[in-house]
A and B are shown apart, each in its own frame.
Chain A
Amino acid sequence: MDFALFVQYALSGITVGSVYAIVAIGFNIIYCTTGIINFAQGEFLIVGAMTAISLAEVAPLPVAILGAVLITTTLGAVVELVFIRQVRNASVLRLIIITIGLSIVMREVMLHIWDEQVRSLPYFTGTEVSTVTILGAHISPQVLWVLGVSAVIVAALTLFFRYTTTGRAMRACADDRMAACLCGVNDRWMVTLSFMLSAGIGALAGCVVSPITQTQYDMGAPLAIKGFTVAILGGMGNSMAAVAAGLFLGLLEAFVVSVLPSSYKEVAAIVVLLLILVFRPSGLFARRDVSALRAA
């Protein structure tokens, strides 16, 4: 394999991996505050992208994306208030199953609003055919957008969770809800807030990846499955690790394709996931002692 081809495989891996990573970030927020895996995360992505596509017909692109993020954030709040909050004696498992039901309902509603056609947002810079050349290989500028937006989201989340009172309160709820309540944290609103944040970030992710993946009403589930895999791979609850794990999985898949028939790339991904679950159950990048403490 010559060098340019090697770089091309690497860039292809980064393209796929950046999409996995940005999806995985959304999973982490709700998990952080509630312990719930939100299986409707993929649908938040598609709702965001579809809303932006509709708005882009009447408004400039940045306005359309901003509008879509706001609308989807509101949707996240409504979902939490109507479905999650009303469940009495909610076990985490029950709530997770509710999110699966929600994903099905949202998918069907989207089918009625936006029909079955494949759509996409325009490329943020350049067009379908523009490329950036790196070391003799080529990559779409949209991939740089995805990476950039992921980086900004991760940085903003880290600052938010570490340095703001609200962010700290959300983390406190995740650690020990009772103790947080006793300290005066309104735990219910923290859960609502986490759904809003995760829906908003999902919508932004959906918009940024839309030019690459295109958008169709039933595309949320396959995207979410990969995002979920990546979130586990990196260690649930850690956004920075999710990005690293996403890129790792993307690169792995790309280089598997270079030596094996491409139908085997999913096998490689699953084998790696199984190995990680067996040997490092708390994730690739989690510190063992920390997770052992949490488990205790």
Chain B
Amino acid sequence: MQTRLAAILGVLILACVVPLSGCKKSPEAPAPEAAPIKVGAIFSVTGPASFLGAPEAKTVQMFAEKLNRSGGVLGRKIELLVRDSGGSPEKAISLAKQLIDEEKVLAILGPSTSGESLQIKSICQEGQTILLSCAAAEEIVVPLASYVFKTPQKDSQAAQWIFNTMKDLGITKIGVITSNTGFGKGGKTHLEQMAPANGVEILVNEVYEKEATDLTGVLTKVKGAGVQAVVNWSIEPAQGIVAKNMKQIQLDVPLFQSHGYGNIKYVQGSGEAANGTIFPCGRLLVADSLPANHPQKALLTEYKRGYESRYNEDASTFGGHAYDAILILTEAIKKAGSADPKAVRDAIENLKGVVGTAGVFNFSAQDHNGLGLDAFEMLTVKDQKFAIYQK
């Protein structure tokens, strides 16, 4: 038995060592300039976060195909290696290691969720591989890791927009309800920290199960506290249930949701009850109603049309984050004039005024997100459609 175990171990060790040593030779040989640039992507195409990962994977594939048809970047094609993590951080770690060590990719696009991104942050940093995360958490770029960037707007900016709107409406007493997920927890922390400075008092602060199918109990507590508005920070399906339950128990105060509400399907899920919901979001959802001279108008309408005609489903802001990630990478390669990881990384830090779906990116050595407060717009739901919120 023991000898057999030893034999298995031996084979395993060999299996680990051989391909690694085999691969190490390839970068020494100078790659011909026409060789494709390898770019990895880790998205949760299936699993509980598939509503993020599926449109992200589709978007980068669409982008890369279009780019390669028009000759690629620096005369080289982009070879995209899309991997599905199923939303699991453990799987994301092994996929990241594989992409870095075996495939020697220049950069990794994604992952879709904050949990996965934080897990592979240090791996990419050590492997000197550029990471362009499509997840929201601020911790991805604070503290700064020189090779790690992210494309979606920050949670704290979303919270700031919510507080600004409350100021306009004269709201000072609110109820905060969040789901017990990483996303909900992040939102709760930001709302708690920023409320005093914005002159808002949180009267009720409750956390609920992410599988909750009815929230009238929590909302009754909110109603009893006499709040002027409710903030819900969660993902589906609770986003829809909150809106319905508030109307059902006749809690007639404004409902604010997070920037995770950016998918028209969530609105359809709660029907009439969704009307009047206010939330901060990128401009993709209201691309058609932007003024013609808005800097993002042309890009947003083009992406939206392209995506919707090709995949026959509504574009969401999440796919947009992946669009921004691959856009920033190709712009940086152009600017650096090479596909050397160090040069491209430096180039990203010097990118200014790149128009993306989330906003206009201005990166710097200190800011690896590059988006300002103006990347958000307050949206509302009118007749079960998204519209720009008017004061």
Contacts and interface: CB of A to CB of B under 8 A. Distances in A.
Q: Do A and B bind each other?
A: yes
Interface of A: 1, 5, 8-9, 11-13, 15-16, 19, 116-120, 122, 127-129, 131, 137-140, 209, 212-214, 216, 218-219, 222-223, 253-254, 257-258, 261-263, 265-266
B176 to A, nearest CB: 12
A222 B211 contact: yes
Interface string B226-257: 00000000001100110110011110000000
Interface in B313-366: none
B22 interface: no
Interface stretch (B103-111, B134-142, B270-278, B293-301): B270-278
B213 A128 contact: no
Contacts of B213: 16, 19, 209, 212-214, 219, 222-223
A212 B271 contact: no
Contacts of A219: 211, 213
A178 to B, nearest CB: 43
Contacts of A12: 214, 216-217, 219-220, 249
Contacts of A13: 217
Contacts of B272: 127-129
12 contacts: A8-B249, A9-B220, A12-B219, A16-B216, A118-B240, A119-B269, A127-B272, A129-B248, A138-B249, A212-B214, A258-B217, A258-B221
Contacts of B206: 261-263
Contact of B220 (A122, A140, A212, A258): A258
B385 interface: no
B331 to A, nearest CB: 33
Which residue, A129, A218, A223, A257, has most C-beta atoms of chain B within 10 A? A129
A8 B139 CA distance: 40
A9 B240 CA distance: 21
Interface in B136-173: none
Nearest to A263: B207
A131 B248 contact: yes
B61 interface: no
B223 A5 contact: yes
B221 A262 contact: yes
A70 B207 CA distance: 40
B271 A128 contact: yes
Nearest to A216: B237
B183 to A, nearest CB: 16
B206 to A, nearest CB: 5
A266 B209 contact: yes
A43 to B, nearest CB: 15
Given A131-B249, A212-B213, A213-B213, 17 more contacts: A1-B224, A5-B223, A8-B216, A9-B217, A12-B249, A19-B213, A116-B46, A129-B244, A131-B250, A138-B250, A139-B249, A219-B213, A223-B213, A254-B220, A257-B217, A257-B220, A261-B207
A73 B304 CA distance: 43
B275 to A, nearest CB: 9
Interface string B67-78: 000000000000
Size band of the B side of the interface?
35 or more
B214 A19 contact: yes
A140 to B, nearest CB: 4
B180 interface: yes
Given A15-B214, A128-B273, A258-B221, A118 B208 contact: no
Contacts of B389: none
Contacts of B271: 122, 127-128
Contact of B236 (A5, A9, A118, A263): A118
B217 A16 contact: yes
A209 B250 CA distance: 21
B128 interface: no
Contacts of A137: 249
A140 B208 CA distance: 21
With most chain A CB atoms within 10 A of its CB, the pick from B213, B220, B249, B250 is: B220
A15 B218 CA distance: 13
Given A12-B220, A12-B249, A15-B214, A262 B207 contact: yes
B260 to A, nearest CB: 14
Given A214-B237, A214-B240, A16 B249 contact: no
A214 B224 contact: no
A19 B212 CA distance: 12
B341 to A, nearest CB: 35
Leading 6 A-B pairs by shortest Cβ distance: A213-B213, A12-B216, A128-B273, A129-B247, A257-B217, A128-B271
Contacts of A19: 213-214
B305 interface: no
B249 A117 contact: no
Contacts of A265: 217
A214 B241 contact: yes
A9 B236 CA distance: 24
Q: Which residue among B50, B223, B224 has the maximum number of chain A CB atoms within 10 Å of its CB?
A: B224
Given A222-B211, A262-B218, A116 B51 contact: yes
A216 B240 CA distance: 13
Nearest to A209: B213
